[in-house]
Amino acid sequence: MEGLLELTASALRLGIPVAICALGALWSERSGVINIGMEGMMLTGAFWGAAGAFWYGPTVGILLAVAAGLVMALLHAAVTVSGRVDQIVSGVAINILAYGLNRFFGYRIFNMAASSPDVPGLPEISAGGATLSWIVPFAFGLAGLSWLVLTRTGLGLRLQAVGENPAAADAAGISVPALRYAGVLLGGAFAGLAGAYLSIEHTGMYVEGMTQGKGFIALAALIVGNWNPFGLFGASLLFGLFEAMSFRLVQSQTLPYQFVQMAPYLLTLAVLAGLRGKTRAPAAVGQNWSRDGDE
Amino acid sequence: MNGRNQILLLRLAAPILSVLLALAAGALFMFVAGYNPWQVYATLLTFSLGRADSIGSILFYATPLLFAGLAVAVAMKAGILNIGVEGQYLIGAFCAAWVGFSLHGLPGWLHLSLAVAAAMAGSMLWILLPAYLKLYRGVHEVISTILLNYVAFSLLHWLVADVYMDRNQQIPAGLGSPLIRTPLFDPTVAAPKLHGLLGLLGLDVPEYIAVNLFLPLGILLAVGCWFIFRHTPLGYEIAATGQGPLAARNVGIAVNRVRLKTFLLSGAIGGLVGLSHLFGYYDSFDLDFPRNFGFAGIAVALLASNHPLGVIPSALLFGLLQRGGEGIQTFLAVPMELVVILQGIMILCVALTMRWLDRLLLRRERGTGD
Amino acid sequence: MQITPVVEFRGVGKRFAGIAANEDISFTVNKGAVHAVVGENGAGKTTLMNLLAGLHRPDAGSILVRGEPVVFHGPQAAHHAGIGMVHQHFMLVERFTILQNILLSCENSYGLLPQLQARQKLAALCQSLGLALDLDAPVETLPVGLRQRVEIVKLLYRGGDILIFDEPTAVLTPGETAELLELLRSMRRQGKTILYVSHKLSEVLAIADTVSVLRQGRLVGTVAAAETTQEQLVEMMIGRSLTPSADRQTVIAGPLLLELVGVHCRDGRRAKALQGLSLQIRGGEIYGVVGVSGNGQQELAGVVTGAIAPTSGEVKLAGDDIAGMSMPRVRSLGVGLIPEDRDRQGLVGALPVWENLLLGQLRLPKFCRRGILSGAACRNYVAEQVWRFGIRLASLDQPVRSLSGGNRQKVILARELGRQPRVLVASQPVRGLDIGAAEMVHAQLMAARKAGAAVLLISADLDEVLELADRVGILYAGRIVREFRPGELSPVEIGHYMLGGGQAVQSQ
């Protein structure tokens, strides 16, 4: 029983950054913009979260991380929504930029490109012997709030319209660019938060590449969850469970640990492969739009 | 100047414009970060172009980028985003390395050819899964190839550190533990160097810079790809599949088969990316084998507008940037990462400029319709 | 009733990329009137209406609404002025319900959605117009006629009283058209002003009070509907009288080239599309297929070209069963296709004209020897086809998307007919084309018929089919429910069958 509780807590700890990131991707993709750069934004959030926590403590760290995510997201939005560049190309560029910027500032701030010193974390919550970060219940709250806004408010309806049929939304008087910017910026903010959680709460420091592809897994979780806040949350936690179990496998030494490392990625691919035709993306996702129709 | 020539001029000017734009954006960043942009750029240029060893370095650095850019560009023609070159080239390099350290006593040309074949085979196998997932399961190749990159890293770690780790090696003096690497390559697999040839052209390249056979090989491959797209039915089918898959299908082009062929071609080229370094510079495959050629390849392909011949100058430019990065780090204590940042900025600037150009041309076209 | 101008165009002009889509257009629309705007495809009708609806701004002249000059910075501003447009391509979000689509056009509702209020208001509105709508039905499940109703209700809900309709009956059956016109009449009675854009002159004369005719971006004239005739309008629209259709040459039907027997298949959503469809077409025959869109037209074209594999039944090409064969194979056996959406399904816009003309044919021995293309052979062939089909272009290398609609269709025709197919499937071949181009396309279809091909003509335009076809099949619920020769059935009877009022008949 204790083992199960610990496993659940572990799954939560590992799955929450994916979940937060996936929520961000939800907002972005529901408005019609794919964001491959979530990985880079999350890493940026991890770095600046650690830097902020190092200087002024965890709360400032989190705020700084969110701000950093917003800045990267602003770039992505400007290039894709206003500049109408292919969304995936922009995302790849953002990832490269994030890698370079983190190293660059790493040198300047910590004199090390690839890691930071330890940073303090937020006070923890204990539940039945396992400890969790404040951010975990906060993330659940974000999921619920996202669902509420998306399905029950005019803002959510309009944002969805922009991602399904931008021409119709425009004819209805909705500003497609404004809502897409909003979606992408929210995505960046969430990605920054997810990164901050990783560096401040989870590991206690920033390490280069610490996201290990979680930004991409988040995109997969979005698909598996069928672009629904609760669905993607569940898919993310499932991934966290995969990872948690894989650590236990390593400890029990049944397989070389490299294969266990691979397992979550391969399993994710297997799930995606099995989903053919069963999920439904926002109809206009990935397509840039302009009123003149030259995209 | 008539309309067609105007368009041609615009298409050639655009990459140049975008590079200038990127340099300007980079200068802004440097200024904000507290560096002197003029100093940085000046050092970059003089270091890269003013020394004989720099020219050699540029050629050496450009070689893997040439293959990577070509791999990405070829896939893009069919509308496929091969972000997985990163993983593909590492797997390919390992397979080639295996041939390198496992076979002995073969004539050099045979050994190297087998290694090249192994690299292509390994890489093509690696791209087969994303290809299958995209064509038959509707999984976007961006996600599948990126996830597989991570799998590749783990797989390689196991292969190099556990399975093929050279336990018989001489531990180098001063190190306490063995290097994590495969057994040494048989010397017959080493890639012939170009120093003699370059010397004939008047370029005196120092011995320690490993410019080798793979450079002209890459150039030949680029020309070959250009030929495919210009003079063979497959090339046109690939273009149609990439730009108008519905129409292509309706005229009887087997769209999925074309895509598969493109995946495999891109994979095969991708497998060769690391070979210039592997057989020119290294003597075994270790965990420090250079990374990020795959992502740099995306930048190279973009700057070249996915044109096979354009990849050559584009790769040279990025080679120049990389060399310049070494210079600014050595002489100005500016972190080399600046070059990576510049790379990212360049992708965005190129994409923006090209997009803007596309819209401009589209508007002109609309004006000339009946 | 007092006649008050509610909308006035004064010298309105609009240019796109240097071409004048509208030039110096001036006319007045009176309140409570149905004012039709007619013209050929490309005459500038939609552009003009888009200006009124706030989607674009005029480059010259001004628009006055209720006596005041207006400048709309977007559709929202036009909504404020009470102007709404029902577009040719509906502006609905497929995945949303009817209620959600209507709520989308509410003002200032970024907060919690006012669902209850909206439902009440909509119930009252629908009742006043005699409509019944299930507000929670997703739009994608609705047939076209109902979707149009949703668009209309959307406008009225918003308080629109100047309503613009752009080619509203293009996708309706004769019965649905009559219902729409009746709806327009009741809206007129309620004092709404209606602008009606159409090229279907019989309807226009049935419903409109005034008619403005546009030609090549300019206004030719504005006349009272009661004082004009269809012939007069046509003459204003094209600047000449219509050439009488060429006498149909009798062509002796050849061997049976295309036969479908009891074909069943599914559509993209795995729903049943064709349900036991049978038909026969001989060489030298044009077989027209009419029906409400969505009854299996695309799937019919699909099984003949090999795009869709039937789940049961036979598809025979000159006696050989081709059901389930791959598209490249079917095509190589002599099947040609003029697709419904010429730009997405028939051409690769960004590629040059010559590549599009040779699309899919580059492996033929006459163009390619030992794997290498002969540039000269390609260009010679393309140049010949361009001349033969009268394609107007500046260069063989220009992107095909820069050609006009008619010329793009000519490229497709040149490509398909140049292969001398045994079976030709033509799907909505003159959609969006002006009269001259349409005449040319029809002539080519007749030429293919004369050359002995079996032509399957699928079209939503009843007049076109009746004019061209030797025999006509009415498609309903995935089956041919009635076959007849032009003239044997009246439009009313045809409409009756189109809506399922007949019985399934095996083709003779």
Judge if C412 and C426 occupy the same domain. Answer: no
Judge if C447 and C322 occupy the same domain. Answer: yes
Judge if C449 and C387 occupy the same domain. Answer: no
Q: Which residues of A touch B152 (CB under 8 A)?
A: none
Judge if C222 and C298 occupy the same domain. Answer: no
Examine residue A178 and state whether it is found in any structural domain, yes or no: yes
Examine residue A285 and state whether it is found in any structural domain, yes or no: no
Nearest to B364 by CA among C30, C505, A64, C402: C402
Examine residue C244 and state whether it is found in any structural domain, yes or no: no
The CA-CA-CA angle for residues A242, A96, A14, to 5°, reads 20
Q: Which residues of C touch A153 (CB under 8 A)?
A: 110-113
Nearest to C292 by CA among C442, C39, C474, C415: C474
Q: Which residues of C touch B254 (CB under 8 A)?
A: 326-328
Examine residue A231 and state whether it is found in any structural domain, yes or no: yes
Judge if C96 and C117 occupy the same domain. Answer: yes
Q: Give the dihedral sign, CA A72/A73/A75/A80.
A: positive
The backbone region for A92, taken as left when phi is positive above 0, alpha when psi lies in -120 to 50, beta otherwise, is alpha
C348 and B244 within 8 Å at the Cβ level: the answer is yes
Examine residue C193 and state whether it is found in any structural domain, yes or no: yes
Judge if C404 and C293 occupy the same domain. Answer: no
B351 and A75 within 8 Å at the Cβ level: the answer is no
Tokens of C206: 């049935």
In C, residues 1-60, which contact B (CB 8 Å cutoff)?
16-19
Q: How far apart are CA B292 and CA B279, in angstroms?
A: 18
DSSP state of B159: I
Tokens of A53: 């926590």
Place of tokens 């354009």: B310
Tokens of C68: 């005041």
Chain B nearest C-alpha distance from C403 (Å): 5
Please report the pLDDT score of residue C382 as a whole number: 95
Q: How far apart are CA C405 and CA C435, in angstroms?
A: 12
- What single letter denotes the amino acid at residue B49? L
Q: Is the pLDDT of residue B128 over 90?
A: yes
A93 and B150 within 8 Å at the Cβ level: the answer is no
Q: What is the mean pLDDT of chain B?
A: 89
Q: How far apart are CA B98 and CA B108, in angstroms?
A: 15
Please report the pLDDT score of residue C507 as a whole number: 37
C394 and B231 within 8 Å at the Cβ level: the answer is no
DSSP state of A199: I
Q: Which of C14, C55, C56, C95 to mutate to test the interface with A (most CBs of A within 10 A)?
A: C95
* CATH node for B60-368: 1.10.3470
Q: What is the mean pLDDT of chain A?
A: 89
Judge if C255 and C323 occupy the same domain. Answer: yes
Q: Which residue in chain C is spatially nearest to A158 when comparing CA positions?
A: C104
A164 and C95 within 8 Å at the Cβ level: the answer is yes
According to DSSP, the β-strands at C34-38 and C210-215 are parallel
| Predicted model pTM | 0.87
Residue A53: burial class (beta carbons within 10 Å; 0-12, 13-18, 19+): buried
**Strand, helix or coil for residue C259:** strand
Tokens of B291: 């990374």
A173 and C94 within 8 Å at the Cβ level: the answer is no
508 residues of chain C, pLDDT tens digit each: 568 889 999 999 998 766 788 889 999 999 999 999 998 877 888 889 999 988 889 999 999 999 889 998 888 888 889 998 998 788 899 999 999 999 888 766 778 888 888 899 899 888 887 788 888 999 988 877 788 889 989 888 888 889 999 988 877 776 778 888 988 998 898 889 999 998 788 889 999 999 999 988 899 999 998 998 888 888 888 776 666 655 567 777 789 999 999 999 998 777 888 999 999 999 999 999 998 777 889 999 999 999 999 999 999 999 899 998 999 999 999 999 999 999 999 999 889 999 999 999 999 999 998 889 999 999 999 999 999 998 988 889 888 988 888 899 999 999 999 999 999 999 999 888 877 888 889 999 999 999 999 999 999 888 889 889 999 999 988 899 999 998 888 877 888 888 777 654 433 3
Q: How far apart are CA A41 and CA A28, in angstroms?
A: 13
Our count of domains for chain C comes to: 3
Band of residue B203 on the pLDDT scale cut at 50, 70, 90: confident
Judge if C69 and C148 occupy the same domain. Answer: yes
Q: Does B220 touch chain C (CB under 8 A)?
A: no
Residue C125: burial class (beta carbons within 10 Å; 0-12, 13-18, 19+): middle
Chains that touch A (3 or more CB pairs under 8 A): B, C
Give yes or no for a contact between C212 and C39, defined as CB atoms under 8 angstroms apart.
no
Partner residue facing B251 (CB), from C360, C397, C407: C360
Nearest to B112 by CA among B217, B214, B191, B215: B191
Give yes or no for a contact between B116 and B275, defined as CB atoms under 8 angstroms apart.
yes
B355 and A262 within 8 Å at the Cβ level: the answer is no
Q: Which residues of B touch C347 (CB under 8 A)?
A: 244, 247
- What single letter denotes the amino acid at residue B91? I
Residue B25: burial class (beta carbons within 10 Å; 0-12, 13-18, 19+): middle
A25 Cβ neighbours under 8 A, 6+ residues apart = A35, A38, A187, A190, A218, A219, A222
Domain spans, chain B: 60-368
Nearest to C461 by CA among C434, C507, C428, C486: C428
Chains that touch B (3 or more CB pairs under 8 A): A, C
Q: How far apart are CA B179 and CA C274, in angstroms?
A: 68
Q: How far apart are CA B100 and CA B80, in angstroms?
A: 32
Tokens of C354: 């010559």
Q: Does A253 touch chain B (CB under 8 A)?
A: no
Q: Give the H or E element holding residue B103.
A: none
Please report the pLDDT score of residue C328 as a whole number: 93
Chain B nearest C-alpha distance from C51 (Å): 20
- End-to-end alpha carbon distance in chain C: 58
**Strand, helix or coil for residue C295:** coil
Q: How far apart are CA C327 and CA C308, in angstroms?
A: 9
Q: Does C492 touch chain A (CB under 8 A)?
A: no
Partner residue facing C328 (CB), from B247, B252, B364: B252
> Bridge-partner residues for B211, per DSSP?
none
Q: What's the domain range around C436? A: 251-334+422-508
The mean-pLDDT minimum among A36-50, A136-150, B182-196, B245-259 falls in B182-196
Q: How far apart are CA C162 and CA A144, in angstroms?
A: 42
CATH of the domain at C213: 3.40.50.300
Examine residue C246 and state whether it is found in any structural domain, yes or no: no
Judge if C277 and C329 occupy the same domain. Answer: yes
Q: What's the domain range around A58? A: 2-118+131-274
Q: Is the pLDDT of residue B346 over 80?
A: yes
DSSP state of A232: H
Partner residue facing A96 (CB), from B147, B154, B343: B343
Q: Give the dihedral sign, CA A282/A283/A286/A289.
A: negative
Examine residue A288 and state whether it is found in any structural domain, yes or no: no
Give yes or no for a contact between C183 and C27, defined as CB atoms under 8 angstroms apart.
no
Nearest to C410 by CA among C428, C394, C387: C387
B219 Cβ neighbours under 8 A, 6+ residues apart = B66, B312
Q: Does A6 touch chain C (CB under 8 A)?
A: no
Examine residue A209 and state whether it is found in any structural domain, yes or no: yes
Give yes or no for a contact between B66 and B315, defined as CB atoms under 8 angstroms apart.
yes
Entry field: residues in chain A = 295
Judge if C183 and C325 occupy the same domain. Answer: no
Please report the pLDDT score of residue C447 as a whole number: 92
Q: Which residues of A touch C106 (CB under 8 A)?
A: 154
C359 and B364 within 8 Å at the Cβ level: the answer is no
C403 and B369 within 8 Å at the Cβ level: the answer is yes
Give yes or no for a contact between C340 and B232, defined as CB atoms under 8 angstroms apart.
no
Please report the pLDDT score of residue A255 as a whole number: 75
Q: How far apart are CA C123 and CA C118, in angstroms?
A: 8
Size of interface A-C (CB pairs under 8 A): 63
Partner residue facing B340 (CB), from A99, A220, A294: A99
Q: Does B147 touch chain A (CB under 8 A)?
A: yes
Judge if C366 and C330 occupy the same domain. Answer: no
Packed helices A214-224 and A176-196: angle between N→C axes, nearest 10 degrees: 120
Size of interface B-C (CB pairs under 8 A): 101
Q: Give the H or E element holding residue C457.
A: strand C454-458
Q: Is the pLDDT of residue A237 over 70?
A: yes
- End-to-end alpha carbon distance in chain A: 56
CA C433 → CA A277, B64, C300, C428, distances in Å?
Answer: 36, 52, 23, 10
B133 and A272 within 8 Å at the Cβ level: the answer is yes
Report the range out of B134-148, B256-270, C388-402 with the highest average pLDDT. B256-270
Q: Which residues of C touch A164 (CB under 8 A)?
A: 93-96
Examine residue C243 and state whether it is found in any structural domain, yes or no: no
Q: How far apart are CA C76 and CA C98, in angstroms?
A: 20
What is the CB neighbour count within 10 angstroms for residue C332? 13
A154 and C55 within 8 Å at the Cβ level: the answer is no
Q: Which residue in chain C is spatially nearest to B244 when comparing CA positions?
A: C348
Decide which of A159 and B205 is more confident: A159
- End-to-end alpha carbon distance in chain B: 22
CATH of the domain at A219: 1.10.3470
- What single letter denotes the amino acid at residue C343? D
Alpha helices in B51-175, H assignment, sequence order: 52-77, 85-102, 108-137, 141-158
What is the CB neighbour count within 10 angstroms for residue C471? 20
Alpha-carbon torsion angle C376, C379, C382, C388, nearest 10 = -80
In A, residues 215-234, which contact B (CB 8 Å cutoff)?
216-217, 219-220, 223
C104 and A161 within 8 Å at the Cβ level: the answer is yes
In C, residues 56-75, which contact A (CB 8 Å cutoff)?
74-75
CA B227 → CA A86, B73, C6, C372, distances in Å?
Answer: 27, 14, 64, 9
Give yes or no for a contact between B191 and B214, defined as CB atoms under 8 angstroms apart.
yes
DSSP of C342-389:
IIIII--TTSBHHHHHTTT-TTSTTTEETTEE-HHHHHHHHHHHHHHH
Please report the pLDDT score of residue B370 as a whole number: 33
Q: How far apart are CA C492 and CA C501, in angstroms?
A: 11
Give yes or no for a contact between C334 and C358, defined as CB atoms under 8 angstroms apart.
no
Give yes or no for a contact between B260 and B131, defined as CB atoms under 8 angstroms apart.
yes
Our count of domains for chain A comes to: 1
> Bridge-partner residues for B193, per DSSP?
B212
In A, residues 75-134, which contact C (CB 8 Å cutoff)?
none
**Strand, helix or coil for residue C30:** strand
A171 and C112 within 8 Å at the Cβ level: the answer is no
Judge if C328 and C220 occupy the same domain. Answer: no
Q: Is the pLDDT of residue B59 over 80?
A: yes
Q: Does C91 touch chain A (CB under 8 A)?
A: yes
DSSP state of B193: B
Chains that touch C (3 or more CB pairs under 8 A): A, B
Partner residue facing A262 (CB), from B151, B298, B344: B151
Over residues A214-236, the mean pLDDT reads 93
Band of residue B366 on the pLDDT scale cut at 50, 70, 90: low
Q: Which residues of C touch A158 (CB under 8 A)?
A: 104, 110
Q: Which residues of A touch C155 (CB under 8 A)?
A: none
Chain B nearest C-alpha distance from A125 (Å): 33
ipTM of this model? 0.87
Size of interface A-B (CB pairs under 8 A): 122
Nearest to C17 by CA among B358, B357, B361: B361
